[in-house]
Copies of this chain bind each other. A is one copy, B any other.
Amino acid sequence: MATGRSTQHNPNPAGGTRRSRGRGIPDATVARLPLYLRALTALSERSVPTVSSEELAAAAGVNSAKLRKDFSYLGSYGTRGVGYDVEYLVYQISRELGLTQDWPVVIVGIGNLGHALANYGGFASRGFRVAALLDADPAITGNVVAGLPVRHTDEMEEIVRDERVSIGVITTPPGAAQQVCDRLVAAGVTSILNFAPTVLNVPDGVDVRKVDLSIELQILAFHEQRKAGDDLADEDGEVPSAPAAAVVSGRGPEQGHGYEEAAG
C-alpha cells in the first residue's frame, strides 16, 4: 500500500513533526479506521453480530495482526475466543473519527469535478453535509446543483462563519487553489481537501490532504513499466551487478525491488 499518503506532503515542513503524541493514535491507524468502518457497516447491515479479526481483516484487505494492533489503540473492545461486537465497534470507530457529529463542508469551484462531488451521495452518509457550493464565475453562481444554489465566493467568509464550516474542498483550477486556500483558512477553515494539482501552503494547525489523479496514474505507470521490463528481462530476482557507469540511455529494464520476491 503504499503509499500514502497520503502523499500529502506538508506544504510547510518547517514545522517539525510533532505528531507523536503520548497517547495519540498513529496516523497509519487513523487512515485505516475508515476502511474498517466501511467493512463493519456492511456486516452490520447484514445483521452479523460479531466478527473475528481474521474475517474483518480479510474484508478490509489488511493483515489481521495489524487490525488487532490498530484496535488496541482504541481500547480493548474485543472478546477473546469470540471476536468483536460489530455494532459496538461501529460506534467506537465512528466516535473516534468524529463521525457522530455533523461536519459542514464547503466545495469551492463548481466545475466538472465540483459538480460530481456535489452530486455525490457518499457525503451525507457519514455525517458530512455540504453547507455550500462556491464559485467565482458569475455565469455559474445562481445555478442550482444537487439541490443547492451555487453561491459566489464573496460570501465565503460569511458562510464559513455562520455555518461553522471547518472543512473545505478545493476543486478550482490549480492557479486559483492557493488563493482560495488562503481565503478559506482566513475565514476559519482548518482542514482542506485539495483536488487541484498544486502544493498548498498553509499555516500550522491547518491540515491539508490532497487527491491527485495525475499522481496516481503516474505511479501506476511506473509499476506498469517495471512489469513490462521484467517480462523482457529474466525472472531472477538478482540482477547481474548493474554496472554503475552504464548511462542507461535506452530504457533499462526495471527490475523488482529487493523487497519482493520475483519468482513468477
Of residues 19 to 42 in A, which have CB atoms within 8 Å of B's CB atoms? 19, 21-28, 30-35, 37-39
With a cutoff of 8 Å between Cβ atoms, the chain B residues found around residue A5 in the complex are: 31, 252-257
**Residue in contact with A1 in the complex, picked from B33, B197, B256, CB distance below 8 Å:** B256
- Asked if B218 and A13 make an inter-chain contact with CB atoms under 8 angstroms apart, the answer reads no
Complex Cα gap A257–B239 (Å): 29
Q: How far is the CB of A157 from chain B (nearest CB, A)?
A: 19
Do A220 and B205 form a contact, CB below 8 Å, given A8-B261, A116-B116? no
**Interface check A131, CB cutoff 8 A:** no
A173-212 interface bits toward B, Cβ cutoff 8 Å, 1 = contact, 0 = none: 0000000000000000011110001010100111101111
Main DSSP-derived SS at the A contact region: loop
Q: How far is the CB of A242 from chain B (nearest CB, A)?
A: 5
With a cutoff of 8 Å between Cβ atoms, the chain B residues found around residue A22 in the complex are: 239, 241-242, 255, 258
Copies per complex of this chain = 2
- Asked if A11 and B61 make an inter-chain contact with CB atoms under 8 angstroms apart, the answer reads yes
Do A250 and B112 form a contact, CB below 8 Å, given A211-B216, A257-B31? no
With a cutoff of 8 Å between Cβ atoms, the chain B residues found around residue A9 in the complex are: 32, 35, 60-62, 251, 259
Of residues 56 to 105 in A, which have CB atoms within 8 Å of B's CB atoms? 58-63, 75, 95-99, 101, 103, 105
Of residues 214 to 239 in A, which have CB atoms within 8 Å of B's CB atoms? 214-228, 230, 236, 238-239
Complex Cα gap A19–B103 (Å): 39
- Asked if A253 and B2 make an inter-chain contact with CB atoms under 8 angstroms apart, the answer reads no
Complex Cα gap A123–B220 (Å): 13
- Asked if A256 and B4 make an inter-chain contact with CB atoms under 8 angstroms apart, the answer reads yes
Using C-beta atoms within 8 Å of the partner chain, give the interface range for chain A: 35 or more
Residues of A near any B CB (own CB < 8 A): 1-15, 17-19, 21-28, 30-35, 37-39, 58-63, 75, 95-99, 101, 103, 105, 112-113, 115-117, 119-120, 122-123, 125-128, 166-167, 190-193, 197, 199, 201, 204-207, 209-228, 230, 236, 238-239, 241-242, 244, 246-264
In the complex, given contacts A1-B61, A24-B255, A209-B219, what are 19 additional A-B residue pairs having Cβ atoms less than 8 angstroms apart? A3-B259, A9-B32, A13-B62, A18-B241, A19-B251, A28-B253, A30-B253, A31-B215, A31-B253, A32-B257, A95-B251, A98-B222, A115-B116, A123-B214, A166-B224, A167-B220, A207-B249, A227-B264, A263-B263
Q: List 13 A-B contacts (CB under 8 A).
A: A3-B27, A5-B255, A7-B31, A8-B252, A15-B241, A21-B242, A22-B239, A24-B226, A37-B218, A122-B197, A193-B217, A204-B247, A210-B255
